[in-house]
Amino acid sequence: MATQAGLSPAAGPLIALTDVTRSYAMAGVVHTVLSGVTLSIDSGEFAAIMGPSGSGKSTLLHLLGLLDRPSAGSYRFAGRETATLCDDDLSTLRNQALGFVFQSFYLIPYATALDNVLLPGLYSNAPRAALTRRAMELLDKVGLAAQAQHKPSQLSGGQQQRVAVARALINDPDCILADEPTGQLDSATSVEIMELLATINRDAGKTVIVVTHEAATAAYARRQILVHDGRVA
């Protein structure tokens, strides 16, 4: 796991936030989005972060995904204080230890499904041939081996999200972070995507953290974390 960033597995929770605050200054006014959040998530957990719009749940996910830094407090990943990491080490950790699935898929429109899955792996030192084999194996696992050469415009929304899930797994991360992964899908396809994430959690032992406002989506998680007015309730 992310040995390039100097990290190694440690005893205790995979994720540990202690008294974390995130504030932004806009037009000279400070807005606090998260206030005093203390939270731990163990390796192998399936957790859902819930809350109404504006509650701070997406900001919390961005902090967990190392896409943002706390204004105050401590965030330890696998026992290491992330505040001590430089930007390069944070980027390496984010690429190697975390996989991301977003509501809007964020696939490259002119690239094939295979090339989209490969993309995060290209920043590692793995040989291209080995990465391609792994990408094809992942597309097969999500039921899209036959569509490997299709571009996003040739795929349904559910298929695009399956490509995004495969992409999130290409570097064999410790944790999958999914931000409203069913937000643009119909109910039947939402079930398929959530069952896929549940299988990844159960069979591959990946930590899965889903941000959602939908109770049906959160029901797949074994633990639900409610965020309200910037605090974990």
Distance of alpha carbon 184 from alpha carbon 90, whole angstroms: 30
What average pLDDT does the segment 180-197 reach?
94
To the nearest 10°, the Cα dihedral for 51, 201, 216, 140? 120
50 touches 227 (CB < 8 A): yes
DSSP strands (E only) in 27-97: 29-41, 46-50, 72-77, 80-81
Sign of CA dihedral 159, 202, 64, 169: negative
Residue 5 has pLDDT above 50, yes or no: no
Distance of alpha carbon 82 from alpha carbon 75, whole angstroms: 6
| 80-81 sheet: strands from edge to edge | 29-41, 15-26, 72-77, 80-81
Crossing angle of helices 128-141 and 157-169, in 10° steps, is: 140
Q: What's the pLDDT tens digit per position in 83-99?
A: 999 999 999 999 999 99
- Average pLDDT of the chain, as a whole number: 92
Distance of alpha carbon 39 from alpha carbon 202, whole angstroms: 22
End-to-end CA distance of the chain: 31
Model confidence at 25, pLDDT cuts 50, 70, 90, reads confident
Fold of 3-232: Rossmann fold (3.40.50)
What average pLDDT does the segment 101-109 reach?
95
pTM: 0.91
Q: How much is the pLDDT for 3?
A: 40
User: In angstroms, what is the C-alpha Rg of the chain?
Assistant: 18
**Domain segments of the chain: what residues?**
3-232
Q: Which residue's structure tokens are 């590692």? A: 124
Q: Which residue's structure tokens are 């932004």? A: 24
Span of 21-30, 133-142, 181-190 with lowest mean pLDDT: 21-30
DSSP strands (E only) in 68-133: 72-77, 80-81, 98-102
